[in-house]
Structure 1
Amino acid sequence: MSEFEEQAALWDEWAATYNESSLGPAAPAARALAELADDGPALELGVGAGRIALPLAQRGIRVLGLDASHEMTRRLLARREDLPVDILIADMAAFEAPCPVALIYIVSSTFYLLTTPERQISCLQSCSRALRADGRLVIEAAVPGTSALPLEEGLYVRAVEPGYAKLSVVAHDPVAQTLRSQEIRLDETGLRMLPVTRRYTHLSELDLMAQAAGLRREARYEGWSLAPYRAGCPRHVSVYSVAGEHRDGFRDR
């Protein structure tokens, strides 16, 4: 089974209990992405159930949402109504957009679900090909070694409520830069186990990968407020453009 097929099966399994609220409010991200997208269209890699795509579409940006999981995107379609959001089932490591896009964005550390450097670089190459000459790629992710992405192994208690408990077991491979997690949920129906593997990238590594894919960094922010990134910030929002096509007037804060 390919990694794409594994991801599709994994997130089909996650879909029934996926909790978007655990990822924080969507409005700040949608507002910032709408500013960066101009008139669109935008492409979201790992669109899931539409946490960001739907509020971005409410701002008048046409969105193409790419995902591996039919079940996750089925949840999105059930909520779409008449918003301009379309779905593409494809591997985000190797995809072709149906048309050049103004913005590609990957949020909530979804880039880390590509579990080898080869697949991560392939994703960035696909993004470079899909962007318009004046387009941008935006990656939001946790910074390794901070409170948002601790690199310690162990057993973590995520939630304890009457009749319900959620635990995570985490194993860290510092050589491969992978975190293998098993989420364990216990309730009156029994035990449910949901695995996930992530390969984190350090900031300088991500910039080098992007450069190898024909992209260059325009800006890096500490979050969706678009305040400048400072050392030690737990999350980053990095903006890349097609190399040689740096847009005039961009607010590089």
Structure 2
Amino acid sequence: MFDQDAMLWDEWADTYNEKSLGPAAPVAAVLAELAAGGPALELGIGMGRVALPLARHGVPVTGLDVSTKMVRHLAERTGDLPVDYRLADMASFTLPGRHTLVYVVASTFYLLASAERQQGCLNCCGRALMAGGRLVVEASVPGSAALPLESGVIPRAVDEGVAKLSIVLHEAQTQLLHSQEVRLSADGTSLRKVTRRYVHLDELDQMAAFAGFTLEARYNGWDRTPYEDGQERHISVYSVPGQLGGGLGEG
């Protein structure tokens, strides 16, 4: 699985569009507060969309990723910022030292395509945190407009000389969404398959509890508007037992 994921994201590294995920400044501001001055760990650091602005807040960041090409791009952008990375599977990792914050954003958690791998990830997160440390999970809400649970064809972009679309197959029993990301251009057609396992909020809370976490807060956005049923995105903040500085002030 690690090798397959690495090959996929290496293929995407040169064309991956970070801007489609929205501005990172508000994300980094909230995470910096939650890190309470301590070191942070990002799962799926990619090219540093969040890690770099978080490091500019003075938070040392270590990131995990499976893609050599992604972290190569990251290294080119890091400069003197306190950002480090490890090539590792986020479902099974061990790191020296402990962190005050672990975070995984932009539905990256769903790329762990089985309940066992997702639980393994949360277990590793618990071991990577200091007493009182926090875990932040940002993801689309299954069944919302942001993550429809149905098979079909979804147009993504139509630009001069290029069109992008997703062909999606939904497996309800396994909670899997298999998508073929298609890019059509004068240069030819490219296909990249992605499999995601979505997680409903009650299941995520149960998995987190099994790993030793307690839910502290759940937001709809990085302005920390409280989450309400039916919204498209959640930002869930969990903690492990203990005392850590830094609060959960309202936005």
TM-score by length of 1: 0.96
CA–CA separation in structure 2 for the residues paired with 1:64 and 1:187: 37
In structure 2, the residue matched to 1:228 is 226
In structure 1, the residue matched to 2:190 is 192
Corresponding letter in the other structure for 1:77:
A
Deviations 1:126-175 (A, max 9, x none): 00001000210000000000011111211111111221111110000000
User: Which of 58, 69, 72 does residue 71 from structure 1 map onto?
Assistant: 69
Q: After superposition, where does 1:168-183 map in structure 2 within 5 Å?
A: 168-183=166-181
User: Which of 241, 247, 250 does residue 247 from structure 2 map onto?
Assistant: 250
Secondary structure class of the residue paired with 2:34:
helix
Q: Tell me which moved more, 106-115 or 214-223.
A: 214-223
Q: CA 1:246–1:188 in 2, change beyond 3 Å: closer, same or farther?
A: same
In structure 2, the residue matched to 1:134 is 132
CA drift at 1:177: 0.2
Percent identity between the two aligned chains? 58
Secondary structure class of the residue paired with 1:150:
coil
CA drift at 1:194: 1.3
Q: After superposition, where does 1:36-185 map in structure 2 within 5 Å?
A: 36-185=34-183
Corresponding letter in the other structure for 1:245:
G
Corresponding letter in the other structure for 1:224:
W
CA–CA separation in structure 2 for the residues paired with 1:59 and 1:249: 14
CA drift at 1:210: 0.5
Secondary structure class of the residue paired with 1:186:
strand
Q: Answer yes or no: is the 8 Å Cα contact 2:35–2:246 preserved in 1.
A: no
Please tell me whether residue 210 in structure 1 is matched to residue 223 in structure 2: no
CA drift at 1:249: 7.2
Corresponding letter in the other structure for 2:226:
P
Structure 1 runs, 4 residues or longer, greater than 4 Å off:
246-249
CA drift at 1:246: 6.0
CA–CA separation in structure 2 for the residues paired with 1:49 and 1:150: 27
Secondary structure class of the residue paired with 1:11:
helix
Q: Aligned-residue CA RMSD in angstroms?
A: 1.3
CA drift at 1:251: 2.9
Secondary structure class of the residue paired with 1:79:
helix
CA–CA separation in structure 2 for the residues paired with 1:251 and 1:209: 22
In structure 2, the residue matched to 1:4 is 2
Q: Answer yes or no: is the 8 Å Cα contact 1:218–1:252 preserved in 2.
A: no
Corresponding letter in the other structure for 1:86:
D
CA–CA separation in structure 1 for the residues paired with 2:184 and 2:160: 11
Deviations 1:178-205 (A, max 9, x none): 1000111011211111111100000000
TM-score by length of 2: 0.96
Secondary structure class of the residue paired with 1:120:
helix
CA drift at 1:116: 0.4
Corresponding letter in the other structure for 1:54:
L
CA–CA separation in structure 2 for the residues paired with 1:216 and 1:247: 14
Corresponding letter in the other structure for 2:51:
A
In structure 2, the residue matched to 1:28 is 26
